Amino acid sequence: MKKQFPYAIAVILAVGAVLAVAITRMNNSAPMDMGEHALSESKRKAGIARGPHGGWLFAKDTFRMEVAIFERGVPPQFRVYPTDAAGTPINLNDVRLVIELHRLDRVDTVGFHPSGDYLVGDLTVVEPHSFDMILRAQWKGNDYEWQHSQIEARTVLSDEAIKNAGIQIKTAGPEKIKNVLHLTGEIGLNEEKVVHIVPRLDALVKQVFKDLGDRVREGEILAVLESRELADAKINYLAVGKQSQLATDDLKREILIYENTKIMLDILERELDLETIYNRLKGLVIGKSREQLLPAYARLKLFQSIFQREKGLFEKRISSESEYLLALENYKSAEAKYIALREKIAYDGQWAIRQKKRTDEMEQLNVQTANQKLLSLGLKRRGIEALKNEQAHVFTQYELRSSLSGLVIKKHITTGEAVKKDDDIFLLADLSDVWVNIAIPAKDIKNVHLGIKIIIKSELLGIQSAGRLTYLDSIIDPMTRTVTGRVVIPNPKGEWRPGTFVTADLILDERTVPIAIAREAVQSLRDWSVVFVKYGDTFEARPLELGASDASHWEVLNGLAEGEEYVTKNSFAVKAEIEKSGAVHAH
């Protein structure tokens, strides 16, 4: 046994020497992994070694080149250390080098120039450091080329995996970014569309047709009441209506008499014989004027005839002067009475018309007053017009009708109940739109104005709507130091219920940015804010420089181009796949 122990040691040493030579040859034939930018994807590549600066080592013939990504205190940059086969640094001015970085969306070409003891790239190596590299170098008249893949923050997903994970894709492009003031509010009734139904008279409830929550149409019967007061109002309306009709008929007759009287006066003015006058006035309604004026006219004609006869006899000296003068006196007296009677009849006719017209107007006013009372009690014009055909026993019935279309939200009435004229028995509301009352802090009033756009949201109901500020109170509440603002929002489905607390986003201003992404698309990976871009079946984390934001979008200042596809929903699933694969940046 003692003789075999030294022999075993010699065998072990020989095997170790062989392995050392093999490892050395492997290191000289492959690029080295860089210490400053160690990537799990690279670590899985067997045989990759590092140079003294922690970079990849590329070698061919007598030319060696270590390529490192340096990012301590500076933006990430390539630093290249060229040497000869023995590791001796060579003159940097003798080396020409270009590196192409083939990324998913573009190719970056990096040139180099000397800086100290290394060549430095003229482009920042932006994140992610995931690309296929093509390195082209010239030294001493010889051309060198290497290729290397550097993968991080990437994963590959099939269409089935995308569907199963619920991943949704969107194209990056312009969006509107809003400057939003987040406040709270409460849904309230639109007070311009709320109606309190009252009986308007003391009555007894005979029948009720609507209950709480029932939908009603404008003009629909809510209840039937019985009221003595209503019956009195109906009877009074009919009575004054008949009286008004009598007054109207009386006025028409008076006008007819007056017109016929004017005809009579015109005929008498022509001094026709009595028989002709009687024939022309036959059939005309004249009244007492005929009785008074025709005898006076006949008397005038008689005394006129006597006067003319006596005048002729007197001129021939046949009769005495006294007989002539008596005839003249009688004639002039009859003429004066006739003329006076004509004037009186003309005036009395006009006066009678004015009196009848005044009476007619008063009676019409009484009808209008009675009509307005019935309207104020809730009767419709059609129903009032139909009263003359209504049976007396239903004069007491009163149909209480809805004055708008909406819902019954309060009810204080039962069958058989006695109600007062001012009792609030129904409350109706049209909920087709509602008010949102918002408490706006006094410090923010300077940024708020009428017409400003407001987004109303309810997390409880899972709905939202939009409207504009229609009212802004002029008084600050001394207790809350807020001002009440109001927005009207549509409510066609009745989803917004008064009393619901909501959030109100006041859009103070909005602007369109060249590129914006959905907020939910942004994930945190390492110390980056990223989105996951999609190229084919490959997804890659893209670090972003973000700008302004609102509730739904982030402005992208750098890191994403317009037209690139990115994950909007369930981006966490892509992040999990990247982390699971280990293809993440490990400093």
| Confidence (pLDDT) at 538 | 94
Which long-range contacts link 526-533 to residues 24+ away (Cβ below 8 Å)? Answer: 526/584, 526/585, 528/127, 530/153, 531/560, 531/566, 531/567, 531/571, 532/566, 532/567, 532/571, 532/574, 532/575, 533/104, 533/105, 533/560, 533/564, 533/565, 533/566
Q: How confident is the model at residue 378 (pLDDT cuts 50, 70, 90)?
A: confident
Q: Are residues 457 and 586 in the same domain?
A: yes
Q: Are residues 271 and 292 in the same domain?
A: yes
Q: How confident is the model at residue 5 (pLDDT cuts 50, 70, 90)?
A: very low
pLDDT (tens digit, 9 = 90+) per residue, 270-327? 888 888 888 888 888 888 888 888 899 899 889 989 999 999 998 888 888 899 899 9
Boundary-marking domain end, from 152, 181, 205 = 152
Q: Are residues 47 and 145 in the same domain?
A: yes
DSSP assignments along 228-275, one per residue: HHHHHHHHHHHHHHHHHHHHHHHHHHHHHHHHHHHHHHHHHHTT--HH
Instruction: Please compute the mean of the pLDDT values over residues 453-474 and round it to a whole number.
Output: 94
CA distance 246 to 243: 5
Nearest to 585 by CA among 32, 43, 30, 31: 43
pLDDT (tens digit, 9 = 90+) per residue, 144-179? 999 999 888 999 999 999 999 999 999 999 999 888
Q: Are residues 181 and 133 in the same domain?
A: no
| Confidence (pLDDT) at 7 | 44
Considering the domain boundaries, does residue 388 fall inside one?
no
**Average pLDDT over the chain, rounded to an integer:** 87
Domain with residue 74: its CATH number is 2.60.40.3340
Q: Are residues 60 and 124 in the same domain?
A: yes
CA distance 169 to 517: 11
Q: Is the pLDDT of residue 78 over 90?
A: yes
Q: Is the pLDDT of residue 430 over 70?
A: yes
Q: Is the pLDDT of residue 19 over 70?
A: no
Considering the domain boundaries, does residue 16 fall inside one?
no
Q: Is the pLDDT of residue 192 over 70?
A: yes
Instruction: Please compute the mean of the pLDDT values over residues 440-456 and round it to a whole number.
Output: 94
Boundary-marking domain end, from 387, 405, 428 = 428
Q: Are residues 354 and 480 in the same domain?
A: no
Q: Are residues 131 and 174 in the same domain?
A: no
Considering the domain boundaries, does residue 18 fall inside one?
no
Domain count, the chain: 4
Considering the domain boundaries, does residue 472 fall inside one?
yes
Domain with residue 199: its CATH number is 2.40.50.100
Q: Are residues 448 and 583 in the same domain?
A: yes
| Token reading at 234 | 């109906």
Give me the count of residues in the chain: 587
| Confidence (pLDDT) at 391 | 65
Q: Are residues 367 and 501 in the same domain?
A: no
Domain with residue 501: its CATH number is 2.40.30.170
Distances (CA, A) of 145 to 58, 59, 65: 9, 10, 11
Instruction: Please compute the mean of the pLDDT values over residues 130-154 and round it to a whole number.
Output: 93
Q: Are residues 165 and 129 in the same domain?
A: no
Considering the domain boundaries, does residue 7 fall inside one?
no
Is the separation of the CB atoms in 561 and 172 below 8 Å? yes
Considering the domain boundaries, does residue 4 fall inside one?
no
| Confidence (pLDDT) at 16 | 46
| Confidence (pLDDT) at 64 | 95
CA distance 85 to 102: 29
Instruction: Please compute the mean of the pLDDT values over residues 23-32 and round it to a whole number.
Output: 38
Q: Are residues 221 and 271 in the same domain?
A: no
Boundary-marking domain end, from 384, 405, 428 = 428
| Confidence (pLDDT) at 25 | 38
Provide the residue range defining the domain that includes 213: 191-227+396-428
Higher pLDDT among residues 393 and 108, named by residue: 108
| Confidence (pLDDT) at 530 | 94
Q: Is the pLDDT of residue 567 over 90?
A: yes
Q: Is the pLDDT of residue 487 over 90?
A: yes
Q: Are residues 468 and 479 in the same domain?
A: yes
**Percentage of the residues of the chain whose pLDDT score is greater than 70:** 90
| Confidence (pLDDT) at 425 | 94
Considering the domain boundaries, does residue 246 fall inside one?
yes
* pTM confidence score: 0.55
Q: How confident is the model at residue 48 (pLDDT cuts 50, 70, 90)?
A: low
The DSSP element (H or E) to which 390 belongs, if any, is none
Is the separation of the CB atoms in 312 and 305 below 8 Å? no
Nearest to 327 by CA among 342, 315, 311: 311
Considering the domain boundaries, does residue 299 fall inside one?
yes
Instruction: Please compute the mean of the pLDDT values over residues 581-587 and round it to a whole number.
Output: 54
Q: Is the pLDDT of residue 15 over 80?
A: no
Q: Is the pLDDT of residue 204 over 50?
A: yes
